[in-house]
Amino acid sequence: MAQPVPGVRLGIAQAGIKKSDHDDLVLIELAPGSRCLGLFTQNAFCAAPVHVARAHLQQSEGSSRYWVINTGNANAGTGEDGMNAARATCAAVADITGCDLTEVLPFSTGVIGEPLPVESLTDALPLAHRDLGPDQWQRAAGAILTTDTCAKVASRVISVRGSEVTLTGMAKGAGMICPDMATMLAFIATDADLGADLLESIFRRSVTASFNRITVDGDTSTNDAAMVACTGASGVVIDESDPDLLEQFQQALDSLCLELAQAIVRDGEGATKFVELEVAGGRDESECLAVAYTIAHSPLVKTALFASDPNWGRLLAAIGRAGLKDLQVDAVSLFINDVLIAVQGARAPDYTEASGQAAMAADELVIRVELNRGDASARVWTTDFSYDYVRINAEYRT
């Protein structure tokens, strides 16, 4: 169950952006003085709300009062009209609430290349504002979905010298998932008090190990954003003067981000498998990641996963084309759910097709690659490719 975060209220409304009688607009109110940080897509064709949110964060020096999120339309590939629509959305929130324009951050998700129906959105904003309440995380998480099948929300509570610090977050994403910063959309809030530099440091660490380690289809969205806000309402200050408390908070944030990131993979479009790729024994983390992502992005591997076919030749082929310099293939070992498939670059002597099929039949898989050329390791989470993935994306605009 999502825990309310003191200093945060959420309101939901129906703007009819994609279809009627559907929650598709969320307004998040942050207490005055809240400190905010955003990590955004590295896609050069980023959406208008990304441009506006980045600019407003910089102009307000990380002090935001309202986040406004719409689903059903990405407001990406919309040129100057899209920029004007994103600004108009912020202006409407500022008019309703009395805050400064730069204290409003816009976020959009949905179809790319279609004009944002800004009047429908702004007409519904007063409804979202009147709906503001602290216990709306679950409903808000459902209102930001596109092709997702379920809401993604999680909380952590840590005890600090008789007080409690709460962290709650929600995320959306099921397709076009291969983040190069964060995730499709993620919104996290805490009532702790952290300085700007420390907040950026710990949030980047959490994002690196979670949202930046997931992939469904290898596509990086135009709209990716991961946001964190600290209201300070608990009165608990997190800083370097108490390293144990800092590490406790970091672990809670790491755990929260990882739960949300993995929830995105589990809800991948048409997914039937949740797959952890573990690459160990690399010279450095970057080459471990190169191997993991090459496997995760291989259509041949992903379709074999869907069929529960232990076609380990596809895995070895992916490892071999990952671009590792001087890779000694006869040092590589391959496991699927602890079944040794290949050793010294070839079929393991004791391996049988039956044992491979039994391992692949599971809904959750761990594919482990041992490179045996160093001490580095990395993990990535991904899915299979099913018939439904093709259907969902073929019918996305219809």
Encode the chain in three state secondary structure: CCCCCCCEEEEEECCCCCCCCCCCEEEEEECCCCEEEEEECCCCCCCHHHHHHHHHHHHCCCCCCEEEEEEEECCCCCHHHHHHHHHHHHHHHHHHHCCCHHHEEEEEEEECCCCCCHHHHHHHHHHHHHCCECCCHHHHHHHCCCCCCCCEEEEEEEEECCEEEEEEEEEECCCCCCCCCCCCEEEEEECCEECHHHHHHHHHHHHHCCHHHECCCCCCCCCCEEEEEECCCCCCEECCCCHHHHHHHHHHHHHHHHHHHHHHHHCCCCCCCEEEEEEEEECCHHHHHHHHHHHHCCHHHHHHHHCCCCCHHHHHHHHHCCCCCCCCHHHCEEEECCEEEEECCEECCCCCHHHHHHHHCCCEEEEEEECCCCCEEEEEEEECCCHHHHHHHHCCCC
Q: Tell me which of 183, 231, 294, 382 is the catalytic residue.
A: 183
The tokens of 139 are what?
């409903």
Annotated catalytic, 183?
A: yes
Closest listed residue to residue 87, CA positions, set 114, 120, 49: 49
- Count CA atoms within 13 Å of residue 2 on its CB side: 28
Integer Cα distance of 301 and 387 in angstroms: 15
What is the number of other CB atoms lying within 10 angstroms of the CB of residue 59? Answer: 13
Could you give the residue numbers annotated as active site?
Answer: 183
